[in-house]
Amino acid sequence: MGAVSGDLRAKLLIVDDESELLELLAAIVEEAGFAALPAQDPPTALKIFEREQPDAVLLDLMLGHSDGFDLLRELRRRTDVPVLILTARGGENDRVRGLELGADDYIVKPFSVRELVARIRVHVRRGRAERDPRRINGGTLKAGPLTLDVEEHSVKKDGESLHLTVSEFKLLQHLMCRAGHVVRTSVLAKEVWGYEDDGARDVVRVTLHRLRRKLGEDASNPQFLQTVPGVGVMLRAEQT
C-alpha cells in the first residue's frame, strides 16, 4: 500500500549521523511506502533537499560535530515542508526549542515504529494536500486584520503577507473557521495534526507561540489568539 494516494511515492529526507540507524529508518519508511532519501550530515542533506524536493524531513538533532538545530533553521529559511525531529534529546528545553524553530513534530528515541510511520503519514498527507492544485476546499477566510486564502495557501495581516509553515497555516485556518469560539486543545491536536495523545499538547502550544510571534502579538498579553487556561484557544474576530 502506498504512503499516500497518487502515482508518485512521497519522498522523505532522513538525516542521522549513525549509519546503522539511518539504514534502519530508510528500511522502515521504504516498507511503509515512502521513498527514502538518507543523509548523514547537513551539507549532504541540503544538497539532496534542493535536488529532490522531498515531501517531508525526518531530522536527528545530534549530528556528530554539527547541530541539528542549525540545519532545522536553514531548512526553515528554504521551505515550509513538514519537519519531524527524531532524537534521543527528549528534555523539555530541546523539545520546545525545536518546535519554536519551526519543527512540526518531535519524536523521542526509542520510538514505536508504528507511531513513527503514522506521524509521518499525517504530515506528508497534510503537506501534499496544501500543495495540490486540484484541491477543491478553496475559499477565503477573514477575521479582523487577517485574510487567509486557502487556495493560494497565503495569509495577510493588514494587507501584508505572512510566511507560515504548513502547521501554522492549518492551525490558523482552523481557528479562523471558528473565530469567536474556544477550540479545545485536544480538538486542535486531533483535527490539525491527527493526534490523540497528551504529548501533542506541546506541539499545539509551541506552534501557537510561533503563530503569535508572526502575527506580531505580545506573548505576555495576546489580544488576538487568546488561550483559555485548561480549555483551549480562541481567535477573536476583532482585536481590542
pLDDT by residue (tens digit) across 132-190?
543 445 578 888 888 999 888 889 998 899 998 888 998 999 899 888 888 888 888 88
Closest residue by Cα to residue 203 from 112, 123, 106, 108: 106
Mean pLDDT score across all residues of the chain: 84
Model pLDDT, residue 134: 39
The β-bridge partners of 234 are 182, 226
Per the confidence metrics, is the pTM higher than 0.95? Answer: no
Mean pLDDT of 109-124: 88
What is the share, in percent, of the chain residues with pLDDT greater than 90?
A: 32
Could you give the domains of the chain? 11-131 (3.40.50.2300), 140-235 (1.10.10.10)
Contact 157, 215 (CB under 8 A): yes
Higher pLDDT, 113 or 239: 113
DSSP secondary structure code for residue 124 in this structure: H
pLDDT tier at 129 (50, 70, 90 boundaries)? low
The number of beta carbons lying within 10 Å of the beta carbon of residue 91 is: 9
Model pLDDT for residues 186-228, shown as the tens digit of each residue: 888 888 887 776 667 788 888 898 899 898 888 777 878 888 8
Return d(Cα 117, Cα 55) in angstroms, integer. Answer: 14
Return d(Cα 151, Cα 35) in angstroms, integer. Answer: 27
Spatial CB neighbours of 119, under 8 Å, sequence gap ≥ 6: 84, 105, 107, 195
